[in-house]
Chain A
Amino acid sequence: MFGKLKQLGFIFSVALFVLITPLSAKEKQIAYIVSDLRIPFWEIMSRGIQHSASNLGYEVTVYSSQNNKKLELEAAVKAIKDKVAGIIVSPINSSTCTTILKLAEKANIPVVISDIGTDGGEYVSYISSDNKEGAYQLGKILAKKMKETGFSDGRVGIISIPQKRLNGQLRTAGFMKALEEEGIKGGDIRQQVNFSYKETYHYSTELIKKYGDLRALFLQGSDRYQGALDAIKDSGKKGEILLITFDAEPEFLQLIPKGILVGAGMQQPFLMGEKSVETLNKYLKGETVEKKIELEVLPISTDNIKKKLPIIRRNVLGL
């Protein structure tokens, strides 16, 4: 008797949930929690998301965490409370992402991770750049240039992002693989800690002084490229040491054709944002989506910049 009542209660609850959910869950509302919109990369990505969401009929609420974990957590709680249809997150780091995923999972809200990644938890898909292949292509571009300029027996120094990070490890591995294949000697590596101009300048100078045969520098992040250029210039090695970067800055559209930079590996944040919304949309529509999607990092050099400019403008710069 009692058992039957219990059973009836359960069936009732399920029926109520099914009825209420479409009404209360804002089906066309999605949240984008991003670590810091002040950074152009995320800003471009945010535009890509909004562009795609608009196309697909979603309303996007963008929460910039300002690199503050409390804000990020509050954004997550807010999104969950608003019962959004889905969340796209570009977390402060992979650890905070885990908590967001945990909370979302409890609230039964699907999450797509757009770059950075997570330490754990359940998500729909993780979209990122193919760091290793991108770095590999950059290595090839640099090697070609070194051979053209007669620097093939010189060394290459690396100023890297922290190697604790997976994307850092992949960038080093891909780049080194290309150098090995081309028979170019690797040099020392310096890891960025505070990502400042001063730091980049200092590491560049140190490498130049330490290795007399240094013929190129590879920056795994593009934002402090000026530090490296200044170090080369100040060391009296201008024109003798090549510079190539992973990621790109808008001004590179001038610097690369001029030959000040050999080339750059350009991620496609706009494309990545679009892809995130598309993937989430697919999921919400019940389609199968890939758990991990890697987007090409465009290997841009003096040789191909003109040809690739339209793609760069749209996918990289969101123009």
Chain B
Amino acid sequence: MNKKFYYSIYFVILAPIFAIVSIMTLIQASNFHSQAKENFIYELKKDSHISLTQLENNVAHFIKSYEIHEYEKLVKNAMDHENISAIVVKDYYSGKILGNDVYMTGSIRDVDWNIVDFDKNNKTYQEMIKNAFYIETKDIIDSNSGNKLATISIYSSDKLINERLDSSVVNIVFNSVATLFLLVIILFIVMYFVILKPISQMVSNINDKDKDGIPLHKLQKYKTIETNILATTINNMIDAIKLSREKLKESEFRWTFATEGKGDGLWDWNMETNEVYFSPMWKKMLGFEENEIENNFSEWEKRVKPEHLEKAFKDLQAHLDGKTQYYENEHQILCKDGSYKWILDRGVVVSRDDNGKPIRMIGTHSDITKRKEIENKVSEQTKELEMLNKNLGKRVEDELSERIKSVRLFKDIIDSTDIFISLHDKEYRYVVANKKLAQIHNKQPEELIGKTPVEAGTISQERFESISKSIFERVLKGESINYKDWLESLMGRRYIEFNFLPFIPDRESKNIEGFIVISRDITEQHRLEQENFQNQKKGAMGDLIGIIAHQLKQPLNSLRLNKEVLIQDFEMEEVTQKSLDTYSEKVDKQINFMAESIDELRNFFSPNKQVKPFFIKRSIERAMAIIEPNINSKGIETIREYKSDSTINGIESELQQVIINIVTNAKEVLVEKRPKNPFIKITTYEEEKKIIIEIEDNGGGITEENLPKIFDSYFTTKGEKGTGIGLNLSKMIIEDSMGGKISARNSETGAIFKIELNKENHPGLVS
């Protein structure tokens, strides 16, 4: 109804200025008008008077000398004062001559303000002088006779004064309007840049706000003190708002954290609108998504289990009435999945109106379902415990008796075995030690219990530091370790195989509580294996010597043949220097071949079996140098493909022996099976940190049945001819001696033996 008008700053400032300037202009114009008019009239009278005085002084002479035209000229000149509208001379002197009492002459301005001669008979002129604004008249007296010569009248008009005044007023008004206009424009520009633009920028800056409605940026500095103060004040206000907002957020966060952090839901009830804000956790607690519950009191009310509702309302009302310090009620609420959850509902009125009527209340929902369940269980179990308690004494007795029996049986078992068994706790102390173990150290088992192996004297301090300690630590971390070593004991130097296992008594918790050591004396077994190995090597050597012998036989025969041919040539006297050179060259070739073969052999059998790094390519080539001629002579192609020529650490001759062994086996199979285009191919390549040597043939392969057994001792497919130790020996060399691995598989046309060796980099080594 009362529509309020807001005025622009432009209007507020410019309107009074406009009014003031207008009034000032009017006053000034009015003052000017009256002042100027006064001045003009004064000027007019002055001009009139001066003109009259001048005429008075000058015309008498001309009148007296009858020079009418001369004084008429003076009169005309006097008309130069533009306010003078007419000058009339009544010449009594000339009048006498001219036959009248008076001769009237003079000048007058016509309607166009041009100066014309005065004609006394002209009515217009008579009218004009009659209506003159100002008239000044003077008699010209002859100074000699005292007679009146003439009368001069000067008539002045206010026509020009009025015109000039009008024009001046118009000028004043025009100047004032122009000044006002200029002033308004300057003011407008100044106001725009100094006041309105900064205000507009401030408003725009303040309107650029975050989701909380707080301006994002501070206001810039301005050039005028006032705007700067305003900007600074607003900035301070923004800072203050931001600070209080942050504090509010912080306290909100604390409150939310305090409640939702522990999984409680929040609610905020506006009692005036009956709107309730339910926090996401509140909804989540009941299995609802954020958008599935509205901000309405009924959302809570309709989910409370009907039989709990009355009590809940009662508690709520008591608090609203101020009877309780806060509202608290435990009730069940229906979840989305149809189940009920126990809720501890607590709240407090945070705002009341002037009449004490509550208008806002906030509170929390805590899920107490588990607590309720536990409470129920506890009450059930308490009953059960009471029952159990009665039977417990007998059951403990029975259990103990059973356990004692088990321990004794266990002790008997471990004492009766030949292996050494001990159980250690995490401090390596013996928990259990069998008799065999105690005996080997010339002690009773009881003497070891509770002591570390060093304290018990079963391991020297030096050995513990160098070997055992690290093994114990690894086992306690869960590793199972198998380990063989020589050990000094009462029974002399024994070769022992140790098995360390982590002790995990509780399968569920999987906690390592100590470790078990199971070890056995394998000295005898080890000796037999070593003997077997040497025998195999000898056997293999025999095979090799056979090969070498055959290999040497050929050049020897050739030599012999050449010798016979040479003798015959000699006898037939056909020996020439050229034929001699040819024979010599042939013989040298054969001898060189034999020398090389012998060198290789000597190298192979060299007693210097040191472990040292060597290039596998060289090793393979040396092995092949021994056997290749023989293989090629059987029509078998030998192929080599070196994709790796790294070094490995070991006894070079042993690897050569393995190569010879496998290649020779392949050769024999190929000789026997006679496939088309028989070949033996040796390939080297690298896989991760391993060097792989593959030896492939196209001899039909190994039967699936035999494949798993080929590396076993005394296994042979060669019937009477084979000793069965070749591949077993190869396996021992590769796996035991060189720490590698050997395996066999079938290809489409034959067998592939794969040797995996650990790569050792030896940059300085030259192949």
Contact of A69 among B66, B73, B98, B99 (CB under 8 A): B66
B69 touches A70 (CB 8 A): no
Indicate if B530 sits at the interface (CB-CB under 8 A).
Answer: no
The proximity string for B residues 350-384 relative to A, scoring 1 for CB distances below 8 Å and 0 otherwise, is 00000000000000000000000000000000000
Docked pose: A69 CA to B68 CA in angstroms: 10
Docked pose: A69 CA to B65 CA in angstroms: 7
Indicate if A66 sits at the interface (CB-CB under 8 A).
Answer: no
Contact of A77 among B67, B73, B97 (CB under 8 A): B97
A96 touches B99 (CB 8 A): no
User: Closest approach, in angstroms, between the C-beta of B595 and any C-beta of chain A?
Assistant: 149
- Chain A 69-88 residues near chain B, CB threshold 8 A: 69-70, 72-74, 77, 81
User: Closest approach, in angstroms, between the C-beta of A280 and any C-beta of chain B?
Assistant: 23
> Cβ of B69: which chain A residues have Cβ within 8 Å of it?
95-99, 102, 119-120
- Chain B 50-80 residues near chain A, CB threshold 8 A: 65-70, 72-73
The proximity string for B residues 263-279 relative to A, scoring 1 for CB distances below 8 Å and 0 otherwise, is 00000000000000000
A70 touches B98 (CB 8 A): no
> Cβ of B73: which chain A residues have Cβ within 8 Å of it?
95, 119
Indicate if A311 sits at the interface (CB-CB under 8 A).
Answer: no
Indicate if A103 sits at the interface (CB-CB under 8 A).
Answer: yes
Indicate if B94 sits at the interface (CB-CB under 8 A).
Answer: yes
Please, which residue of chain A has its CB at the minimum distance from the CB of B99? A77
Q: Tell me how many residues of A have a C-beta within 8 Å of chain B.
A: 16
User: Closest approach, in angstroms, between the C-beta of A79 and any C-beta of chain B?
Assistant: 13
> Cβ of A77: which chain B residues have Cβ within 8 Å of it?
97-99
Docked pose: A98 CA to B99 CA in angstroms: 19
Docked pose: A290 CA to B765 CA in angstroms: 150
> Cβ of A74: which chain B residues have Cβ within 8 Å of it?
97
A70 touches B66 (CB 8 A): yes
Docked pose: A72 CA to B68 CA in angstroms: 12
The proximity string for B residues 83-118 relative to A, scoring 1 for CB distances below 8 Å and 0 otherwise, is 000000000001001110000000000000000000
Docked pose: A274 CA to B73 CA in angstroms: 33
Which one of B65, B69, B98 has the highest number of Cβ atoms from chain A below 10 Å of its Cβ?
A: B69
Please, which residue of chain B has its CB at the minimum distance from the CB of A103? B98
A95 touches B66 (CB 8 A): no
B99 touches A70 (CB 8 A): no
> Cβ of B97: which chain A residues have Cβ within 8 Å of it?
70, 73-74, 77
> Cβ of A102: which chain B residues have Cβ within 8 Å of it?
68-69
> Cβ of A81: which chain B residues have Cβ within 8 Å of it?
99
Contact of B67 among A95, A103, A120 (CB under 8 A): A95
User: Closest approach, in angstroms, between the C-beta of A102 and any C-beta of chain B?
Assistant: 8
> Cβ of A96: which chain B residues have Cβ within 8 Å of it?
66-67, 69
The proximity string for B residues 310-323 relative to A, scoring 1 for CB distances below 8 Å and 0 otherwise, is 00000000000000
> Cβ of B70: which chain A residues have Cβ within 8 Å of it?
95
Docked pose: A99 CA to B97 CA in angstroms: 13
Docked pose: A69 CA to B63 CA in angstroms: 11
> Cβ of A73: which chain B residues have Cβ within 8 Å of it?
66, 68, 94, 97-98
Docked pose: A102 CA to B118 CA in angstroms: 12
Docked pose: A242 CA to B326 CA in angstroms: 149
Docked pose: A73 CA to B97 CA in angstroms: 8
Docked pose: A98 CA to B66 CA in angstroms: 12
> Cβ of B98: which chain A residues have Cβ within 8 Å of it?
73, 77, 103
- Chain A 119-163 residues near chain B, CB threshold 8 A: 119-120
User: Closest approach, in angstroms, between the C-beta of B58 and any C-beta of chain A?
Assistant: 14
Docked pose: A96 CA to B68 CA in angstroms: 7
> Cβ of A99: which chain B residues have Cβ within 8 Å of it?
66-69
- Chain A 37-55 residues near chain B, CB threshold 8 A: none
User: Closest approach, in angstroms, between the C-beta of B103 and any C-beta of chain A?
Assistant: 10
- Chain A 83-127 residues near chain B, CB threshold 8 A: 95-99, 102-103, 119-120
Please, which residue of chain B has its CB at the minimum distance from the CB of A92? B67
Docked pose: A103 CA to B103 CA in angstroms: 11
Which one of A69, A77, A120 has the highest number of Cβ atoms from chain B below 10 Å of its Cβ?
A: A69
> Cβ of A70: which chain B residues have Cβ within 8 Å of it?
65-66, 97
Docked pose: A96 CA to B71 CA in angstroms: 11
> Cβ of A119: which chain B residues have Cβ within 8 Å of it?
69, 73
User: Closest approach, in angstroms, between the C-beta of A104 and any C-beta of chain B?
Assistant: 12
User: Closest approach, in angstroms, between the C-beta of B304 and any C-beta of chain A?
Assistant: 124
Docked pose: A99 CA to B91 CA in angstroms: 13
Docked pose: A119 CA to B73 CA in angstroms: 10
Docked pose: A97 CA to B67 CA in angstroms: 10
Docked pose: A255 CA to B413 CA in angstroms: 198
Docked pose: A121 CA to B265 CA in angstroms: 125
User: Closest approach, in angstroms, between the C-beta of A89 and any C-beta of chain B?
Assistant: 13
Docked pose: A95 CA to B98 CA in angstroms: 17
> Cβ of A120: which chain B residues have Cβ within 8 Å of it?
69
Docked pose: A73 CA to B72 CA in angstroms: 15
Please, which residue of chain B has its CB at the minimum distance from the CB of A81? B99
Docked pose: A98 CA to B67 CA in angstroms: 10
Docked pose: A120 CA to B105 CA in angstroms: 15
Docked pose: A159 CA to B66 CA in angstroms: 31
User: Closest approach, in angstroms, between the C-beta of A72 and any C-beta of chain B?
Assistant: 8
User: Closest approach, in angstroms, between the C-beta of A82 and any C-beta of chain B?
Assistant: 13
Docked pose: A180 CA to B66 CA in angstroms: 44
User: Closest approach, in angstroms, between the C-beta of B386 and any C-beta of chain A?
Assistant: 159
User: Closest approach, in angstroms, between the C-beta of A145 and any C-beta of chain B?
Assistant: 43
User: Closest approach, in angstroms, between the C-beta of A86 and any C-beta of chain B?
Assistant: 20
Docked pose: A319 CA to B98 CA in angstroms: 38
Docked pose: A297 CA to B70 CA in angstroms: 31
Docked pose: A70 CA to B98 CA in angstroms: 11
Docked pose: A316 CA to B18 CA in angstroms: 86
Docked pose: A74 CA to B98 CA in angstroms: 7
User: Closest approach, in angstroms, between the C-beta of A81 and any C-beta of chain B?
Assistant: 7
User: Closest approach, in angstroms, between the C-beta of B75 and any C-beta of chain A?
Assistant: 13
User: Closest approach, in angstroms, between the C-beta of B149 and any C-beta of chain A?
Assistant: 14
User: Closest approach, in angstroms, between the C-beta of A105 and any C-beta of chain B?
Assistant: 11
Docked pose: A99 CA to B69 CA in angstroms: 6
Please, which residue of chain B has its CB at the minimum distance from the CB of A98? B69
The proximity string for B residues 387-399 relative to A, scoring 1 for CB distances below 8 Å and 0 otherwise, is 0000000000000
> Cβ of B67: which chain A residues have Cβ within 8 Å of it?
69, 95-96, 99
Please, which residue of chain B has its CB at the minimum distance from the CB of A99? B68
Docked pose: A99 CA to B98 CA in angstroms: 11
> Cβ of A72: which chain B residues have Cβ within 8 Å of it?
66
Please, which residue of chain A has its CB at the minimum distance from the CB of B69? A98
Docked pose: A102 CA to B68 CA in angstroms: 10
Please, which residue of chain B has its CB at the minimum distance from the CB of A69? B66
Docked pose: A102 CA to B67 CA in angstroms: 13
Docked pose: A292 CA to B475 CA in angstroms: 158
Please, which residue of chain B has its CB at the minimum distance from the CB of A120? B69
User: Closest approach, in angstroms, between the C-beta of A95 and any C-beta of chain B?
Assistant: 4
Docked pose: A77 CA to B98 CA in angstroms: 6
Docked pose: A305 CA to B421 CA in angstroms: 188
User: Closest approach, in angstroms, between the C-beta of A103 and any C-beta of chain B?
Assistant: 7
Please, which residue of chain A has its CB at the minimum distance from the CB of B70? A95
> Cβ of B66: which chain A residues have Cβ within 8 Å of it?
69-70, 72-73, 96, 99
> Cβ of B72: which chain A residues have Cβ within 8 Å of it?
98
Please, which residue of chain A has its CB at the minimum distance from the CB of B94? A73
Please, which residue of chain B has its CB at the minimum distance from the CB of A121? B69
User: Closest approach, in angstroms, between the C-beta of B723 and any C-beta of chain A?
Assistant: 163
Please, which residue of chain B has its CB at the minimum distance from the CB of A94? B69
User: Closest approach, in angstroms, between the C-beta of A119 and any C-beta of chain B?
Assistant: 6
User: Closest approach, in angstroms, between the C-beta of A90 and any C-beta of chain B?
Assistant: 16
> Cβ of A103: which chain B residues have Cβ within 8 Å of it?
98
Docked pose: A120 CA to B68 CA in angstroms: 12
Docked pose: A135 CA to B145 CA in angstroms: 48
Q: Can you give 18 A-B contacts (C-beta < 8 A)?
A: A69-B66, A70-B97, A74-B97, A77-B97, A77-B98, A77-B99, A95-B67, A95-B70, A95-B73, A96-B67, A96-B69, A98-B69, A98-B72, A99-B67, A99-B68, A99-B69, A102-B69, A119-B69
Q: What 4 A-B pairs are tightest by C-beta distance, nearest first?
A: A98-B69, A99-B68, A95-B69, A69-B66
New A-B contacts (13) at CB < 8 Å, excluding given A73-B66, A103-B98: A70-B65, A70-B66, A72-B66, A73-B97, A77-B97, A95-B67, A95-B69, A96-B67, A97-B69, A98-B68, A98-B72, A99-B66, A119-B69
